[in-house]
Structure 1
Amino acid sequence: MSGSPKLRILLVEDNKVNQTLAAIVLEQGGHRVNVADNGRLGLEAWRGDRFDLILMDMMMPEMDGLEATRRIRAEEAERGAGRIPIVAVTASVMPGDRERCLRAGMDGFVGKPFTPEVLLREIDRVLGRVVPAGGDSDRSANMATPVFDRDDALLRIGGDEELLGTLIDMFVDDTPRYLAELDAALDAADWPRLARGAHDLKGVLATFSARRAEALARELEQAGKAGRGVAAAELISPLRRELEMFLCEVVR
């Protein structure tokens, strides 16, 4: 990609850790990045400026990525304007998520957590710059599950120790907010809100390769989506314990 023209990219993502990580990866590739915190702001940014490509999260407050994409495609059709490439960058990697993104009008899909190579390769593919490479090799299902796999987390961000430290500091500061949001949603029996909060937390934990806490956040997200309040309540305490263990591991 080093010999390719540099791009103006609109990053539509509500999570600060994911914003920082994606922006640094893109800027290290020489690209210019504008950030919008949700689909509504992303739509406004697209209307008011010119971009070469949009990276779009799926689950965001105010307006999700699917709705923002549908509106962009509808307005392009009304104007007779050219089609801007849109790549989903999301922790929603359940069966059918990729197809939902494509039906909404997206052109590509990257699951979180991602390595810089995977993100940049998908951008190249969507822009027609390269032939698609083979998929990443599967990990063993029986591998040990550490609280924090530092080596794997570094691999995802190109071995940048300073960046990892910055992202960890951001997460340490944000952890009380994540937990307060989950508690408030549970107290209100607001299952969609609970699912969104767990989804957001799951994506960040995946970036850090905090697999045990990530697995619990994934279970909590599914419980929220299914409206299983008892199961959700039973997951909160184990998730808190895993987060405490993770924080002890990363700040020592």
Structure 2
Amino acid sequence: MKITFLGTGTSQGIPVIGSKHPVCLSKNSKDKRLRSSILIEKNKTNFLIDCGPDFRYQMLRSNYKKLNAIFITHEHQDHIGGLDDIRPMNYNMNKPIPIYGLRRVIENLKKRFFYIFSENKKSNVSKVSVHELDNYTKFFFVENYKIFPLSIWHGHLPILGFRIENFAYITDASSVPIQTIQELKGINILVLNILRQIEKNTFPFMLSETLNIIQKIRPLKTYLTHISHTFGFHEEIEKKLPKNVYLAYDRLIICE
């Protein structure tokens, strides 16, 4: 399984427009972060998790031409804003792209991208088929792969993470339920956001929350994503991370 980090930033990305913050002015390419998204490849099957506003550029620089499915963690703009840009892939594949998410999320997509879901839609709009996941408490199948939806909390909003085989992706979590931690124990690779990225909090406090979750799950390796510019420079953060915990960056490729 090949995993490509298409973006590893928060909702504003890095650099933030107009910001004079030192991280935003960094010349290190690893400090340049598009909105968070990831692509999973196995046996010529491509799964995308989240389709943010940087989707078009992410696809161009990664040279992907097809998607077998899109999994949506939640309905915030930085996770769905690029949905309209799947049109070229529709042309390449000559069929709709399946989208998987909670019923609440699917309904939100239908409001924001009403022209995609309209019965009278024109031929030059994106084509999707939708699949609600509210009733799949354990797993569902896509292209013969077993996908496990993971219950996560983003503040007071219930959202999803996803596990495929021994790889799991969680972003925008403010807390991870005990049941989800139990479901993930002993996996090979975990991708997890740095929890509660609030500027007034100190660096050790923010990192300690994430490391506490990692300690409970005990994956072989963990990659941190959804990084804010306020969190610091990539190279400086890397030095503070424990063994087998790594800071992800855009275009990083790992294999499971």
TM-score normalized with structure 1 length: 0.34
Larger strand proportion of the pair: 2
Larger helix proportion of the pair: 1
Work out which structure has the larger RCO, using CA pairs closer than 8 Å and 6 or more positions apart in sequence.
Answer: 2
